[in-house]
Amino acid sequence: MKSETDYISIQINELDNVAVIVESGGLKKGAILNNGISLVDDIPQGHKVALKEFKRGDAVIRYGEVIGYVEKDLPKGSWIFEGVMVMPEAPKLEEYKFNLKKIKESEPLVGYTFEGYKNLDGSVGTRNILGITTSVQCVAGVLNVVVKKIKDELLYKYPNVDDVVALNHTYGCGVAIDAPAAIIPIRTVQNLAKNPNLGNEVLVLGLGCEKLSPDRLVPNNNLNPEEKVILKLHDFDGFEAMVSGIMALAEQKLKRLNKRKRETCPVSDLVIGMQCGGSDAFSGFTANPAVGFASDLIVRAGGTVLFSEVTEVRDGIQLLLPRVANEEVGKALIDEMQWYDDYLKAGSVDRSANTTPGNKAGGLSNIVEKSLGSIIKSGTSTIVDVLKPGEKVRKKGLVFAATPSSDFVCGTLQLSSGISMQVFTTGRGTPYGLAMAPVIKLSSRMDLSLRWHDLIDLDAGRIATGSISIADVGWELFKLILEVASGKKSAAERLGLKNDLVLFNPAPIT
């Protein structure tokens, strides 16, 4: 029988009136916590226990913020979950004033480098990949056949090339190409072709009759502007001619890519995306704070960090606005929140649609609680810029790149914004991966890292037991980022896990 001090619960902030149950498998009624509280309910792992007696209407506080109001009286030691509380109203965007708080800048972090691939446009890749993009879904079947043939018959001859990737998507025709919101999928496809891991050697495959002309997708910084980079299937006589034509042009690109070598680069050349998926209540006090610590290290070293997911920022906006570099950045951040509010309203849903059954099973009662734990990935640095969905990164430092919270859509948009690597935290577990960039996966719970031992790169769940600090895991992650940027394969890469590109298309389909 465990002693009462063995049953750990974690209170994040001294203002919090709930704590999270750490014990694997949860605890039964009557268990006594390390703070002396006796449970009056069975409480699952990751779920909240009342640290005080609640009266109907009392605020539930976690992270020092109100995450809900109880609907009935509850004794100390009760299970606090979605079913016993209501969600607070979202912060009113129009009421925010800009009283910017001067953030004390940390000392620059010097002496850290990685081995990357330099591009003519000034960007630096962490991988050396031949990308073949499509202007329309119609050609995806042909391209998939050709990419397999390239991998089987050509790639082995070019050992310095990491992979050949088809940039397939569901856009290009049958869409309202001139609708205002069409700019989002169009610039996403355009900027995907300019990702630094593709080395300015992308090919474009079109059909010949689509609304999204292939000419709109050609990178301006192609290494050889005179070389043909667009192929249209309508220009070929038969399938075999299509295949031969694409492979011949692809081999020209492979030859040039194969000449590229890794060079020592400063951390300031890195653009890293931070994302979470399959989150649980542990995410906000283990994995995400460790990612936030590493984010600050990258920014201190002059690098660029993107954090995203509008609906997982919206309810914590009051914590981010004091960190913006200036009023212009603050207004841009609010504009993105408002745009998404309007987008959800047009679909007859609101922000509460975000929280998944898995999030709730993992202890996240609502989107407010989820948001407060999610934004911790951004660390403490000044937010220097805000990107609209699919826009390319413009500034070094901490950047908010507006995206939906869907893992696949967020990943696609971060790639189009120019990330060369992504860090992904998960509590419930997901085999998520990207074909165009390595993904480093952190688990928020030790249980997950043990069960998915070959899928997880770093276990942040150790923080919950007190065996290691947030700073220690943050430094481990920072050093792992540099190793993976230099060529070490992440778990998702070793296993070949690659999710499809999924465009965000809020424009009408005709």
pLDDT digits (tens), the chain, 510 positions:
344 446 889 999 999 999 999 999 999 999 999 889 999 999 999 999 999 999 999 999 999 999 999 999 999 999 999 999 999 998 889 888 776 667 777 899 999 999 999 999 999 999 999 999 999 999 999 999 999 999 999 999 999 999 999 999 999 999 999 999 999 999 999 999 999 999 988 899 999 999 999 998 885 545 456 678 999 999 999 999 999 999 999 999 999 999 999 999 999 999 999 999 999 999 999 999 999 999 999 999 999 999 999 999 999 999 999 999 999 999 999 999 999 999 999 999 988 888 999 999 999 999 999 999 999 999 999 999 999 999 999 999 999 999 999 999 999 999 999 999 999 999 999 999 999 999 999 999 999 999 999 999 999 999 998 999 999 999 999 999 999 999 999 999 999 999 999 999 999 998
CATH of 129-258, one of 3.40.50, 2.60.40, 3.90.550, 1.10.3470: 3.40.50
Q: Hey, is 209 helix, strand or coil?
A: coil
Looking only at the bridges linking them, the beta strands covering 59-62 and 65-70 are antiparallel
Tokens of 72: 């009935």
Which amino acid belongs to residue 114? F
Closest CA to 275 of 415, 130, 436: 415
pLDDT of residue 451: 95
pLDDT of residue 492: 97
Q: What is the dihedral of CA 243, 245, 246, 252, to 10 degrees?
A: 140
Which amino acid belongs to residue 212? L
pTM equals 0.95
Edge-to-edge, what's the strand order for the sheet holding 79-80? 9-10, 18-21, 48-50, 79-80
Residue 29, CA atoms < 13 Å, CB-side half-sphere: 5
CA–CA dist 368, 351 (Å, integer) = 9
Q: What is the CATH number of domain 1-86?
A: 2.30.130.110
Cα-based distances in Å from 428 to 232, 331, 442, 451 = 43, 35, 11, 11
Contact 267, 482 (CB under 8 A): yes
**Residue ranges of domains in the chain:** 1-86, 129-258, 264-495
- What single DSSP character describes residue 507? S
Give Cα 285 distance to the centre of its chain.
18
Tokens of 105: 């800048």
Burial class (CB in 10 A: 0-12, 13-18, 19+), 346: exposed
pLDDT of residue 2: 46
CA–CA dist 507, 510 (Å, integer) = 10
Residue 146, CA atoms < 13 Å, CB-side half-sphere: 31
CA–CA dist 405, 424 (Å, integer) = 13
pLDDT of residue 352: 85
Helix axes 287-300, 470-485, angle to 10 degrees: 60
Q: Which long-range contacts (CB under 8 A, 24 or more apart) does 464-469 make?
A: 464/8, 464/10, 464/22, 464/282, 464/285, 464/286, 465/8, 465/22, 466/8
Which amino acid belongs to residue 19? A
